[in-house]
Amino acid sequence: SGLVVSWVSIVLIDVVVVYEVIDVLPVPVGALVGPAAVLGAALGFGAQRLVQDLLAGFFIIVEKQYGFGDLVELSMVGSPENAAGTVEDVTLRVTKLRSSEGEVFTVPNGNIVKSVNLSKDWARAVVDIPVPSSADLGRVNEVLHQECE
């Protein structure tokens, strides 16, 4: 969020400087209205994705949908495949995941349609217990159930 504040501050300072320069120079303001409108529209349409990413990231962080170290699966706009992995970073703009193969996915937050947190408030342990092939499986299950209680 500090980055957003500094970016907004820079833009405001630039606007004030441009206004002061135009005020000092004998430039007809009416001649600048058309190009300024075109520039504003272009910036507005261009910043649409960025604003969407920032708003989605804001809600992901505030709602604590997932965080560092969580195992998640993300469904994205226009992608038939989900991105799954361990969350390495969540910013206002992107979420970074590391897959079980070691790949790092950088997903823009505005593209996320659905997130499934596989590790929030729940855990599952997988334990391999070697059993000889000659063992009675009914008895093995009975003993395991007794030990797990």
pLDDT tens-digit series, residues 40-84: 888 888 788 888 899 999 999 999 999 999 999 999 998 888 999
pTM of the model: 0.57
Would the CA dihedral through 128, 131, 136, 142 be positive or negative? negative
Domains: count for the chain:
2
Residue 41 corresponds to which tokens in the numbers above?
Answer: 């529209």
Total length of the chain: 149
* Domain hosting residue 42, numbered range: 2-46
Pair 33, 88 in one domain: no
Neighbouring residues of 77: CB distance < 8 A, sequence distance ≥ 6? 111, 112, 113
In tens, the pLDDT along 117-146 reads 988 776 667 788 899 999 999 999 999 888
Per-residue pLDDT at 122: 67
Residue with tokens 């063992």, as numbered in its chain: 135
CATH number at residue 63: 2.30.30.60
What are the pLDDT digits (tens) for 76-116? 998 888 999 999 999 999 999 999 999 999 999 999 999 99
The rounded distance, in Å, linking the Cα atoms of 39 and 8 is 18
